[in-house]
Amino acid sequence: MTEEEKLGKPTIEKKPSKVKKASENAILIGRKPVMNYVVACLTFFNSGEKNICVKARGRAISTAVDTVELLRRAFVKDLELKKISIGTEEFEREEGTKRNVSTIEISMTRP
């Protein structure tokens, strides 16, 4: 009998989620300054990660590209770009019209 069962506390079982999750080494780009994302990438690399993926949508794509270029040119000289994926996501607005939003994923590796 576990300690929780002895004290009468309910036990919680976690069920696997069917929601698609971002990989653990992914950095999602938003509205913050570029250096915030550069520091996040450096933190991943310094913690021992070899592969990082930077993801952005819409207007944040330029921030994602700036982040990778600044990281590559100033901080991590041996950074290799592994894969760049671009795409489009289609959203339906409240009015019922559809809208396309561009996406980008930049995978980087550090040897």
At 53, which CATH number?
A: 3.30.110.20
In a domain, 85, yes or no: yes
In a domain, 98, yes or no: yes
* Sequence-ordered list of residues with C-beta below 8 angstroms from that of 98, at least 6 positions apart, any chain: 90, 91, 92
Q: Considering the entire predicted model, what is its pTM?
A: 0.75
Look-up: residue for tokens 């576990």? 2
In a domain, 66, yes or no: yes
Give Cα separations from 80 to 42, 49, 51 (angstroms).
14, 14, 10
Q: How many domains does the chain have?
A: 1
- The average confidence (pLDDT) of the chain is 85
pLDDT, position 14 = 46
Q: How far is CA 73 from the centre of its chain?
A: 21
pLDDT, position 11 = 45
pLDDT (tens, 9 = 90+) of the chain, 111 residues, equals 555 555 554 444 444 444 444 557 899 999 999 999 999 999 999 999 999 999 999 999 999 999 999 999 999 999 999 999 999 999 898 898 999 999 999 999 998
Can you give the residue range of the structural domain that contains 71?
22-109
CA distance 7 to 75: 53
CA nearest neighbour of 106 among 49, 64, 70: 64
CA distance 45 to 54: 13
In a domain, 14, yes or no: no
The H or E element containing residue 80 is strand 80-92
